[in-house]
Amino acid sequence: MIASLILSASIAFTASDAHFAFECASNLVANCTPRDAGTVRGRIAANWILDTASAAGLDIRRDVFRATTPYGERTFTNLYCEFVREPSAEWVVVMSHYDTKPGTACPGANDGASTTGLLMALARSIADRGGVPKGNLMILWTDGEECIRGYSENDGFWGSRRAADELERRGRRVRAAICLDMLGDRDLKVTVPDNSDSTLARISVHAARRAGLGDGFITSIPEEVKDDHLAFMSKGWRAIDFIDFDYGSVPGRNDWWHTKEDTVDKLSVESLHASGRFVAEFLNIIL
């Protein structure tokens, strides 16, 4: 125990991690577009995550499950990479969806792939540094964040609802659930929607400062955003969404969101580096 404590360093996200995150996002888009949940191409994307994580030396677990959709039952796949330091302690969950908006042929470079790549690089960085310094961390790639017709009981958030149910079923206590979405935009403006936990929102300001990103890096907005964090909130756990929901050719137009324009050229390594440093510091505080 003492040896493992000495071996594990605090969590970091370097420039080389950011390059790896960008490479992962680009490869996911190149190999798996579109990757709508419940389709064969969605399963190819899940296999791509599994293969990429294995090649990076990560121990990754797959959860394949069936769920009802507006078009009948479909198969979904969540992927987990867990770092256990204190088995009886609480868990921190950090998640990104990897699926694309059904029926849009959207490459989802920013919406899905950017944070999928970020989590891959973060997981590799943590593993290379000997695991988490304390507590327990679950890195989670969710399937089926996007709804087919409109969010409802049987439409959208299939992966996050499954993951939250599984945590509850296993009796794991969750200290915080952190949802990352659309954080690779080269014109990055990270926001915390109103339907996030206020304590975690305050911690995020400290994390940005500690990461050297300045007070303006995170902005709280009065709007609510439907995202994967809601499944965890509904269990009574603290949860927060970090999202840059201004994604288009002109501020406020959002014309790259859920369209064929959501391409890799709209991302930057610098934005992924800033988002990654921020998440690393957030975890160093919350774990």
If one asks whether residue 227 binds Zn ion (CB under 5 A), the answer comes out as no
Q: How far is the CB of 258 from Zn ion (least distance, A)?
A: 6
Q: Which stretch binds Zn ion (CB under 5 A): 109-117, 136-144, 172-180, 227-235?
A: 109-117
If one asks whether residue 111 binds Zn ion (CB under 5 A), the answer comes out as yes
Q: Which stretch binds Zn ion (CB under 5 A): 104-112, 155-163, 204-212, 265-273?
A: 104-112
Q: How far is the CB of 144 from Zn ion (least distance, A)?
A: 11
C-alpha 133/C-alpha 219 separation (Å) is: 29
The candidate with the shortest Cα–Cα distance to 218, out of 247, 195, 246, 188, is 188
C-alpha 279/C-alpha 147 separation (Å) is: 26
Q: Which stretch binds Zn ion (CB under 5 A): 2-10, 107-115, 155-163, 247-255?
A: 107-115
Q: How far is the CB of 171 from Zn ion (least distance, A)?
A: 32
Class of residue 249 by CB neighbours under 10 A (exposed 0-12, middle 13-18, buried 19+): exposed
Number of neighbouring beta carbons within 10 Å of residue 6: 9
If one asks whether residue 281 binds Zn ion (CB under 5 A), the answer comes out as no
Q: How far is the CB of 99 from Zn ion (least distance, A)?
A: 9
C-alpha 21/C-alpha 119 separation (Å) is: 8
Residue nearest Zn ion (C-beta atom):
111
* CB of 111 or CB of 241, closer to Zn ion: 111
The candidate with the shortest Cα–Cα distance to 136, out of 188, 179, 66, 83, is 83
Q: How far is the CB of 138 from Zn ion (least distance, A)?
A: 22
* CB of 17 or CB of 111, closer to Zn ion: 111
Exposure string for 29-58, b = 16+ CB within 10 A, e = fewer = beebbbbbbbbebbbebbebbbebbeebeb
Q: How far is the CB of 242 from Zn ion (least distance, A)?
A: 14
* CB of 25 or CB of 174, closer to Zn ion: 25
- Inter-CA distances, 264 with 28, 136, 193, Å: 10, 33, 25
Q: Which stretch binds Zn ion (CB under 5 A): 41-49, 84-92, 106-114, 217-225?
A: 106-114
Q: Which stretch binds Zn ion (CB under 5 A): 111-119, 121-129, 215-223, 272-280?
A: 111-119
If one asks whether residue 143 binds Zn ion (CB under 5 A), the answer comes out as no
C-alpha 216/C-alpha 204 separation (Å) is: 11
The answer to whether the beta carbons of residues 113 and 182 sit under 8 Å apart is no
**In degrees, to the nearest 5, what angle opens at C-alpha 153 toward C-alphas 136 and 235?**
30
Binding site for Zn ion (CB under 5 A): 111
